[in-house]
């Protein structure tokens, strides 16, 4: 480490990082994955509103700008369904639609727009965070994980990435599921806890707790950026 870098175990206890985590913080081997920051989540009258994520749009933009300034790849990962719902709500398979759709009916009020969540050709797929020409896109995500069924791993391997930093929404659904799949593929996982948002404060905490215990490092975005900046500055000084 080039700074006094730390993480949060149990999403609570500030814990200094040892040299064993040095490679996890190498910006040259890192990509940032922004998950599902589209209109279907980021408007209150939408297909699947995520109010806590709406409040963090500008935090995402500020973090992502600095990521781009550091020339770290930024990948926009989106839940993207074929129009008409054959991938999910109109599936002909015996088990029918995705599990989350059944479960949401147990605790969310009826929403006539829900069936159209992430349908191509609708405005619900409009990204509500800033984008740039250097960004990459994954637009075949059909379930919670950014890896299913997509070519995300293929892209990460071609970018020569070892470390993935997860931003976006929902912390307790798509971020958590992507963290599991990334860790199971031996990518090093980092989650800036101030740049993700869960269904509720309780659900968000629970997801970050699990991530911190089993999958990766739960960090502060500013501390992570400072570590990356310091490393790049030292690299430039060495080259000079």
Answer yes or no: pTM beyond 0.85: yes
Residue by residue, DSSP assigns 141-189 as: E-SSSTTTTSSHHHHHHHTT--EEEEEEE-IIIIIHHHHHHHHHTT-EE
Asked if omega into 170 is within 30° of 0 (cis), the reply is yes
pLDDT-derived band at 233, boundaries 50, 70, 90:
confident
Query: 3's torsion region: left (phi>0), alpha (psi -120 to 50) or beta?
Result: beta
User: Please, is 95 exposed, middle or buried when counting C-beta atoms within 10 Å of its C-beta (0-12, 13-18, 19+)?
Assistant: exposed
Residue 157 clears pLDDT 90, i.e. is over it: yes
pLDDT-derived band at 33, boundaries 50, 70, 90:
very high
| Residue ranges of domains in the chain, CATH in brackets | 6-82+123-239 (3.40.50.850)
Question: Would you tell me how many other CB atoms lie within 10 Å of the CB of residue 73?
Answer: 18
- C-alpha to C-alpha distances, 94 to 111, 144, 172, nearest whole angstrom: 24, 20, 27
Average pLDDT over residues 76-99: 97
Task: Give pLDDT tens digits for 99-122.
Answer: 999 999 999 999 999 999 999 999
User: Please, is 144 exposed, middle or buried when counting C-beta atoms within 10 Å of its C-beta (0-12, 13-18, 19+)?
Assistant: buried
Question: Would you tell me how many other CB atoms lie within 10 Å of the CB of residue 197?
Answer: 29
Please state at what angle helix 57-69 crosses helix 221-239, rounded to 10 degrees. 10
pLDDT-derived band at 70, boundaries 50, 70, 90:
very high
């Amino acid at each position: 480490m080039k700074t006094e870098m730390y993480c949060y175990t149990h999403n609570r206890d500030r814990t200094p990082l040892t040299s064993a985590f040095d490679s996890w913080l190498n910006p040259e081997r890192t990509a940032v994955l922004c998950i599902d920051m589209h209109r279907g989540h980021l408007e209150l009258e939408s297909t699947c509103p995520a109010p806590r994520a709406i409040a963090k749009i500008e935090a995402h933009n500020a973090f992502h700008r600095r990521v781009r300034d550091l020339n770290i790849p930024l990948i926009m990962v989106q839940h993207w369904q074929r129009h008409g719902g054959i991938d999910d709500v109109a599936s002909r398979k015996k088990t029918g639609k995705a599990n989350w759709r059944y479960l949401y009916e147990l605790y969310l009020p009826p929403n006539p727009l829900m069936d159209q969540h992430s349908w191509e050709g609708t405005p619900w797929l409009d990204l509500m965070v800033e984008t740039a020409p250097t960004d990459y896109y994954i637009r075949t995500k059909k379930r919670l994980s950014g890896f299913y069924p997509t070519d995300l791993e293929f892209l990460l391997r071609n970018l020569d990435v070892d470390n993935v930093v997860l931003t976006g929404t929902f912390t307790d659904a798509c971020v958590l599921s992507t963290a599991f799949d990334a860790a199971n593929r031996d990518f090093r996982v980092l989650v800036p806890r101030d740049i993700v948002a869960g269904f509720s404060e309780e659900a968000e905490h629970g997801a970050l707790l699990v991530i911190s215990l089993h999958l990766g490092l739960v960090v502060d975005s500013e501390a992570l950026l400072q570590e990356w900046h310091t490393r790049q500055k030292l690299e430039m000084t060495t080259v000079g």
